[in-house]
Chains A and B, each alone.
Chain A
């Protein structure tokens, strides 16, 4: 089989990469990057809360909430676009619609191989979690996220300088000015958009949804007999010693469900938060090109963490619908 292969040649892309490296070098010389003020809770963007619920308290508009709204809009646009592409009647979709279709097909095959006939109920939860966390993690790669925002007074701040004036607002940037470093009356940056998974509220909420829906699936499949997984009195009277052990193991399963919530929440939170801190620190130490390598790592980490969250949800749900006998043998957790 003789193929006419084209000789691989350098194209125009190498000049674009070189241009961007040179521009990055010049920008880093003009305005050296600083280490932003990292804090664990998400920063509120306004002094006034959005709404004050009577029992719960004030809810602020945080920058992770804005990022999550952007992800929601992107997902809805994607759904509408794919809907329009499939209703056109074409057998093969091209472009973004085709890529998403391939991803969903791969996820559905994975679900079917593990869940069997419950795949139709389990798949929507798993695929929604995967797509949501995937888009939320990949939001970090867009320039402007975590770097454009409001400048607030802070005691660990820097001097600022006005670049341009657009209408009534001034576009300002932070200048370090060599050895001056922190100044008394300085400013620090509060980004408009911050990756949602760096907020423990988002990951904890998703984890709670996942674990609660696992219980609901189990109840839907097995009825009230689902709770015999936790209160296992089937062998308590026939074989007293082993029955007591089984009862204790059943009570431990309840603790295991709570540890699943914590495990889900902290796995996603830790990965993405540590990744964003790594981005900041590497961006400060080596301003030119080193952040690109870290961004590639973040690309893969984000994708893998989304898949892991979805796959674990799917595995726990299929264990829940399969019942006590099968679940104990698989024993993934």
Chain B
């Protein structure tokens, strides 16, 4: 196989594999939101504070998923 076709093949497979890492972000966000929803159910008056901390936790979990996405985009568009 010529080099160009092999490069494109490698790029596409690599980007697809890198995108598997996004699953961890989904699980993390689910865990954080589940904990937050349970906490609001126990103590509805604290909903404001719980919501703020939930958004913070979701941002951290999503950041890791975004790192995996950035690696996939890097493989596709830079190499």
A residues apposed to B, CB below 8 Å = 38-40, 110, 263, 266-267, 269-271, 273-274, 277, 304, 307-308, 311-312, 315, 332-333
Identify which of residues 41-78 in chain B touch chain A, using a CB-to-CB cut-off of 8 Å: 52, 55-56, 59-60, 62-63, 66-67, 69-70, 73-74, 77-78
**Contact for A40 among B55, B56, B66, B77, CB less than 8 A:** B77
On whether A277 and B73 interact (CB within 8 A), knowing A40-B78, A308-B55, the answer reads yes
CA distance A110 to B55 in the complex (A): 13
CA distance A131 to B68 in the complex (A): 27
A-B CB proximity, top 9 nearest:
A270-B66, A308-B59, A267-B63, A270-B70, A40-B77, A270-B69, A266-B70, A40-B78, A274-B69
Are A274 and B73 within 8 A (Cβ)?
Answer: yes
Which of chain B's residues has its CB closest to A262's CB?
B67
> For residue B52, which residues in chain A have a CB less than 8 angstroms away from its CB?
110, 311
> For residue B62, which residues in chain A have a CB less than 8 angstroms away from its CB?
267, 271
CA distance A332 to B62 in the complex (A): 15
Are B73 and A40 within 8 A (Cβ)?
Answer: yes
CA distance A267 to B60 in the complex (A): 9
B residues apposed to A, CB below 8 Å = 52, 55-56, 59-60, 62-63, 66-67, 69-70, 73-74, 77-78
On whether A267 and B66 interact (CB within 8 A), knowing A40-B73, A277-B73, the answer reads yes
Are A311 and B77 within 8 A (Cβ)?
Answer: no
**Contact for B55 among A263, A266, A307, CB less than 8 A:** A307
Are B77 and A39 within 8 A (Cβ)?
Answer: yes
On whether A304 and B70 interact (CB within 8 A), knowing A40-B77, A263-B63, A267-B63, the answer reads no
Are A273 and B73 within 8 A (Cβ)?
Answer: yes
> For residue B56, which residues in chain A have a CB less than 8 angstroms away from its CB?
308, 311-312, 315, 332
CB distance from A134 to the nearest CB of B (A): 15
CA distance A38 to B55 in the complex (A): 31
CA distance A250 to B67 in the complex (A): 26
CA distance A315 to B55 in the complex (A): 13
CA distance A267 to B63 in the complex (A): 5
> For residue A311, which residues in chain B have a CB less than 8 angstroms away from its CB?
52, 55-56, 59
Can you offer 7 A-B residue contacts whose CB atoms are under 8 A? A39-B77, A267-B62, A274-B66, A274-B73, A308-B59, A311-B52, A312-B59
CB distance from B34 to the nearest CB of A (A): 19
CB distance from A143 to the nearest CB of B (A): 25
CB distance from B3 to the nearest CB of A (A): 17
> For residue A315, which residues in chain B have a CB less than 8 angstroms away from its CB?
56
On whether A40 and B59 interact (CB within 8 A), knowing A110-B52, A270-B67, A274-B66, the answer reads no
CA distance A49 to B8 in the complex (A): 32
Which interface residue of B62, B67, B70 has the most chain A CB atoms within 10 A? Answer: B70
CA distance A266 to B73 in the complex (A): 12
> For residue B73, which residues in chain A have a CB less than 8 angstroms away from its CB?
40, 270, 273-274, 277
